[in-house]
Amino acid sequence: MLFSELKCKDVINLKDCKCLGRINDLEFDECTGHIHSVIVCGKNRLNAFFYGEPEIEIPFRDIVKIGPDIVLVEIGRGRRH
């Protein structure tokens, strides 16, 4: 999958079924190439730019499924193992 394809997918938290926004960036280890986390920008990127809406850093281990249209994550209290 290309990063450009990943950026078009909504990120949904399974804990509360809320859309967190879309993937804006990746953090990865430059030596191994492993992805450490994804950076999600809120649903309204313009508001995030002007009002400083925080980005959400989601550890890669919290990604449950990458589907054709959405990325499912599980963040919050009481994460399943």
Q: Which of 60, 23, 62 is nearest to 39 (CA)?
A: 23
Rounded to whole angstroms, the Cα distance separating 47 from 35 reads: 27
Tell me the pLDDT tens digit for each residue of 20-43. Answer: 999 999 999 999 999 999 999 876
- State both tokens at 66: 């990458």
> For the whole model, what pTM was predicted?
0.78
Tell me the pLDDT tens digit for each residue of 43-63. Answer: 655 555 555 667 899 999 999
CB 70 within 8 A of CB 63: no
User: Given the structure tokens 């989601």, which residue do they identify?
Assistant: 58
* CATH architecture, domain 3-73: Roll (2.30)
Diameter of the chain measured on Cα atoms: 38
Helix (H, G, I), strand (E, B) or coil at 62: helix
